[in-house]
C-alpha cells in the first residue's frame, strides 16, 4: 500500500493547525461564519492576573472537643469549597491557616464581580422549615401591627399634601404610579367619574365624596379606611349623566392593607420547631403519579426531628403543612394521616435540575462551626494585567530565541522544530481556553505560576527535539541513508524522552494531589505542557520530517548541519 503523497500530509498538518488556531485565538480571518462560542472562548485568569477577592474568616472552635477540632476544620473547608465551586469561578483557593492557637479560613476568588453575593454564598445556610396553618384570629393578630405602620404612612402622606403644599398628582404618581400614566398630561387624563352606589366595595369613600360637602379640587382632611386599605381622597368636578344622575370625579392615593391577599400564601402559616437543624439528608426521587414520573425531594430527619414531625402531622390531620426553603413556601401538601418514620416529600412541580439543586443546597447543611469575616481585600485587575503583559512578553521572547537557536544550529530540522514549538504553544493555549466549556471543577485557570509551568514545558519540548536530531545526525555519520537515519533516530531517542518526561509527569501528579492554589496550577499546566511536548516532538515532528525527506535532502545534507562521517572529516 503506497504512502500518501507528501502534499496531502502537509495539507493535513495545515488543516490541523487551523483548527487549533481557531480554538486558541478565537477566529482565523479567512474562515467565515465561525460559531459564536468559538469567538467567545477566553482564558480563565487567576487572582494574580485578573484581580478578585481575598477573604479571611476566623473559626470559632470554642464549643468543639479537642479531639474533633481537625475534623471540624476539614468539614468547614469542604463545605465552603463546595459552595464556591457551585458559584462557578475558576480555581479558587480555599485553605486553612493557623496563627498561634487561632485557625483561619483563607478564601481567594479570582475574577469575581459580585462581592456581596460571593460572601453570602460562603456563609449562607439554606433554611428549611415546616409551618402549620394559622387560625383566623392568629392571621388578624399577625397583620395588625403591620397595618398600623401602613396607616401611619397614609397619615404622613396626607400631611405632606395639606401642610407641605405638595401637588396631589405628584404624590399620587409617586405612591400609586399605575394610576397616573406617565405619557399623559394633566389635561389629557380621563377623569374617573362615579355615581352614588358605584363604589360597592368602598362605601366609606362614597360617603366622603357625596355627603361631606367637599368642593371641586378639595382634599378630605382625614384618612379614609376601607377593606382594601387607607385612602387620601380628593373630590373632582361633577356632571350629570345621560339619565340626569349626578356623577363626581374622584382621585385617590391608596396604601393597601397587609393581608393574605397581598403577602401571599406564606402569611397563612406560622413557624414550628421543625427546621433543617434536624435534617439528616435529602435526595431526589421520582414517584409515579397518574402514570407520570415527577421529580420531588425526599428529606429524612434524625430521631428528634422524626418525633417533631410526627407531632406536627398529628395535630394537623386534614390541614396543610407548608414546606419553606429560605422563607419561600415551595409546597403545602394536605396531611391525610399521622406520618411516622421521619421522612417527608417536598413537591412543587420541579424540573429535574431544580429538584437536584434544592437537594444539593439542603445537603450542604450548616457550617459545622461559626465563622466570622475578619478581613476583606479586593485585588485590582490592573496589577494582574501588567503582570500578564510582562509574562507574555518574556515568554514570547524566550520562545523566539529558542526557535532562532534551533534554526541556526540544526538548519532544516531546526525550522521543523520551530514550527512544531509554535504549534505546541498554540495547542496549549487552545486546551486552556477549551477547558472553559467544561464544568467549573475541570476548568483550567491560568496564573503566573501556570505561565512559569508553560515556559518550562517549552524548554522540555526543545530538549526532546534535540535528543532526536542528535540521534539522527549520529546515524548519518555512521553512513546510513537519510530515511533509515530518521527512523533509527526517533526509535533510539524515544526511551530517553519517555523516561525524562514521565518522571516530570509523576512529579506533577504528586503536586496536583497534595498541592493547593498556585502550586496546583503550576503542576496542571506543566503536566499538560509535557504531554503536548511529547506529542509535538514524537508525532508532529516525525510526521513533518517523513513528509519532506526525499532525494533532494539526501543530496543536500549540509541543510542538516555538521553530519560528515569520520572518513569525510579526515579527507
Predicted local confidence at residue 109, as pLDDT: 78
Mean pLDDT, to the nearest integer, of 186-209? Answer: 76
Predicted local confidence at residue 348, as pLDDT: 67
Predicted local confidence at residue 40, as pLDDT: 55
Which pTM value belongs to this model? 0.46
Predicted local confidence at residue 516, as pLDDT: 62
Is 440 a residue whose pLDDT tops 60?
no
Is 243 a residue whose pLDDT tops 60?
yes
Predicted local confidence at residue 8, as pLDDT: 59
Residue 2: pLDDT band by 50, 70, 90 thresholds?
A: very low
Average pLDDT, the chain: 76
Mean pLDDT, to the nearest integer, of 248-265? Answer: 83
CB 446 within 8 A of CB 44: yes
290 vs 236, more confident: 236
CB 172 within 8 A of CB 268: no
Q: Which of 296, 318, 295, 299 is nearest to 309 (CA)?
A: 299
pLDDT > 70 fraction of the chain, expressed in percent and rounded: 73
Of 132-136, 190-194, 381-385, 533-537, the poorest mean pLDDT is in: 381-385
Q: Which of 76, 78, 71, 80 is nearest to 59 (CA)?
A: 76
CB 128 within 8 A of CB 275: yes
Predicted local confidence at residue 367, as pLDDT: 64
Of 273-282, 364-373, 429-438, the poorest mean pLDDT is in: 364-373
251 vs 489, more confident: 251
CA distances from 175 to 154, 171, 231, 255, 377 (A): 10, 6, 11, 8, 40
Predicted local confidence at residue 442, as pLDDT: 64
Residue 265: pLDDT band by 50, 70, 90 thresholds?
A: low
Q: What is the CA radius of gyration of the chain?
A: 38
Mean pLDDT, to the nearest integer, of 64-85? Answer: 76
Predicted local confidence at residue 305, as pLDDT: 84
Mean pLDDT, to the nearest integer, of 58-83? Answer: 78
- For 123-159, write each residue's pLDDT tens digit: 765 567 788 888 888 888 888 888 899 889 888 888 8
CB 279 within 8 A of CB 342: no
Predicted local confidence at residue 402, as pLDDT: 80
Report d(CA 527, CA 109) in Å as an integer. Answer: 24
DSSP 8-state class, residue 219: B
Q: How many CB atoms lie within 10 A of CB 288?
A: 8
CB 430 within 8 A of CB 24: yes
Predicted local confidence at residue 18, as pLDDT: 62
Q: Which of 539, 542, 534, 462 is nearest to 499 (CA)?
A: 534
Is 571 a residue whose pLDDT tops 70?
no
Of 41-55, 63-77, 205-219, 317-331, the poorest mean pLDDT is in: 41-55
Predicted local confidence at residue 468, as pLDDT: 82
Is 63 a residue whose pLDDT tops 80?
no
Q: How many CA atoms lie within 13 A of 298 on its CB side?
A: 10
Report d(CA 434, CA 445) in Å as an integer. Answer: 11
Query: In degrees rounded to 5, what are phi and psi of residue 17?
Result: -65, -40
- Torsion, Cα of 516, 519, 520, 522 (10° steps): 160
Mean pLDDT, to the nearest integer, of 206-217? Answer: 85
pLDDT > 90 fraction of the chain, expressed in percent and rounded: 0
Predicted local confidence at residue 28, as pLDDT: 47
Cα–chain center distance at 185: 46
Mean pLDDT, to the nearest integer, of 297-314? Answer: 85
Residue indicated by cell numbers 555538521: 562
Mean pLDDT, to the nearest integer, of 279-307? Answer: 79
Residue 438: pLDDT band by 50, 70, 90 thresholds?
A: low
Of 30-34, 313-317, 497-501, the poorest mean pLDDT is in: 30-34
Report d(CA 177, CA 180) in Å as an integer. Answer: 5
In order of their start, the domains of the chain are 52-125+369-379 (3.30.70.3400), 136-262 (no CATH), 273-364 (3.30.1360.200), 380-563 (1.20.1640.10)
Query: In degrees rounded to 5, what are phi and psi of residue 224?
Result: -100, 120
Is 231 a residue whose pLDDT tops 70?
yes
Q: How many CA atoms lie within 13 A of 106 on its CB side?
A: 10
- For 307-352, write each residue's pLDDT tens digit: 888 888 888 888 888 877 767 777 777 887 888 888 877 776 778 8
Query: In degrees rounded to 5, what are phi and psi of residue 422?
Result: -65, -40
- For 93-134, write each residue's pLDDT tens digit: 788 887 777 888 888 777 666 677 777 777 765 567 788 888
Report d(CA 404, CA 414) in Å as an integer. Answer: 8
CA distances from 52 to 45, 61, 360, 380 (A): 10, 29, 26, 7
CA distances from 167 to 44, 159, 224, 252 (A): 55, 12, 19, 13
Amino acid at each position: 500500500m503506497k504512502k500518501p503523497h507528501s502534499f496531502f500530509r502537509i495539507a493535513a498538518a495545515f488543516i490541523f493547525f487551523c483548527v487549533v488556531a481557531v480554538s486558541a485565538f478565537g477566529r482565523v480571518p479567512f474562515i467565515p461564519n465561525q460559531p459564536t462560542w468559538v469567538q467567545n472562548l477566553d482564558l480563565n485568569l487567576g487572582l494574580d492576573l485578573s484581580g478578585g477577592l481575598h477573604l479571611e474568616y476566623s473559626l470559632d472552635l470554642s464549643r468543639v472537643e479537642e479531639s474533633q477540632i481537625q475534623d471540624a476544620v476539614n468539614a468547614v473547608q469542604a463545605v465552603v469549597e463546595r459552595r464556591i465551586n457551585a458559584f462557578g469561578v475558576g480555581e479558587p483557593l480555599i485553605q486553612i491557616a493557623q496563627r498561634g492557637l487561632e485557625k483561619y479560613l483563607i478564601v481567594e476568588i479570582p475574577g469575581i464581580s459580585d462581592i456581596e453575593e460571593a460572601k453570602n454564598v460562603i456563609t449562607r445556610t439554606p433554611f428549611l422549615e415546616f409551618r402549620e396553618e394559622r387560625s383566623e384570629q392568629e392571621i388578624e393578630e399577625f397583620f395588625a401591627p403591620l397595618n398600623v405602620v401602613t396607616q401611619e404612612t397614609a397619615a404622613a402622606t396626607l400631611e405632606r399634601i395639606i401642610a407641605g403644599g405638595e401637588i396631589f398628582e405628584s404624590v399620587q404618581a409617586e405612591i400609586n404610579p399605575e394610576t397616573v400614566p406617565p405619557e399623559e398630561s394633566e389635561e389629557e387624563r380621563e377623569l374617573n367619574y362615579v355615581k352614588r352606589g358605584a363604589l360597592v366595595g368602598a362605601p366609606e369613600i362614597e360617603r366622603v365624596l357625596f355627603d361631606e360637602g367637599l368642593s371641586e379640587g378639595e382634599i378630605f382632611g382625614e384618612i379614609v379606611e376601607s377593606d382594601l386599605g387607607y385612602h387620601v381622597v380628593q373630590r373632582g368636578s361633577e356632571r350629570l349623566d345621560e339619565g340626569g344622575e349626578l356623577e363626581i370625579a374622584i382621585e385617590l392615593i391608596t396604601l393597601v392593607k397587609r393581608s393574605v391577599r397581598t403577602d401571599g400564601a406564606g402569611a397563612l402559616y406560622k413557624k414550628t420547631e421543625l427546621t433543617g437543624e434536624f435534617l439528616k439528608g435529602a435526595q431526589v426521587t421520582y414517584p409515579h403519579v397518574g402514570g407520570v414520573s415527577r421529580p420531588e425531594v425526599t428529606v429524612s430527619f434524625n430521631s428528634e426531628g422524626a418525633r417533631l414531625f410526627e407531632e406536627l402531622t398529628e395535630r394537623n390531620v386534614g390541614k396543610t403543612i407548608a414546606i419553606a426553603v429560605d422563607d419561600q413556601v415551595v409546597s403545602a401538601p394536605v396531611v391525610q394521616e399521622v406520618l411516622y418514620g421521619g421522612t417527608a416529600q417536598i413537591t412543587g412541580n420541579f424540573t429535574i435540575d431544580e429538584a437536584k439543586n434544592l437537594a444539593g443546597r439542603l445537603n450542604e447543611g450548616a457550617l459545622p462551626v461559626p465563622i466570622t469575616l475578619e478581613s476583606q481585600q479586593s485585588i485590582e485587575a490592573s496589577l494582574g494585567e501588567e503582570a500578564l503583559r510582562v509574562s507574555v512578553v518574556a515568554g514570547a521572547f524566550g520562545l523566539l530565541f529558542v526557535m532562532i537557536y534551533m534554526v541556526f544550529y540544526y538548519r532544516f530540522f531546526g525550522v521543523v522544530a520551530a514550527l512544531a514549538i509554535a504549534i505546541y504553544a498554540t495547542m496549549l493555549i487552545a486546551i486552556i481556553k477549551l477547558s472553559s466549556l467544561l464544568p467549573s471543577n475541570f476548568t483550567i485557570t491560568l496564573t503566573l505560576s501556570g505561565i512559569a509551568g508553560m515556559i518550562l514545558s517549552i524548554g522540555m519540548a526543545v530538549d526532546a527535539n534535540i535528543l532526536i536530531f542528535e540521534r539522527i545526525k549520529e546515524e548519518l555519520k555512521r553512513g546510513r541513508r537519510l530515511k533509515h537515519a530518521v527512523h533509527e533516530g526517533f526509535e533510539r531517542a524515544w526511551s530517553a524522552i519517555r523516561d525524562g518526561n514521565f518522571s516530570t509527569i509523576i512529579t506533577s501528579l504528586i503536586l496536583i494531589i497534595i498541592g493547593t492554589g498556585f502550586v496546583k496550577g503550576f503542576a496542571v499546566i506543566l503536566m499538560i505542557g509535557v504531554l503536548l511536548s511529547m506529542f509535538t516532538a514524537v508525532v508532529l515532528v516525525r510526521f513533518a520530517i517523513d513528509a519532506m525527506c526525499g532525494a533532494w535532502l539526501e543530496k543536500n545534507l549540509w541543510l542538516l548541519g555538521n553530519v560528515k562521517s569520520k572518513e569525510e572529516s579526515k579527507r
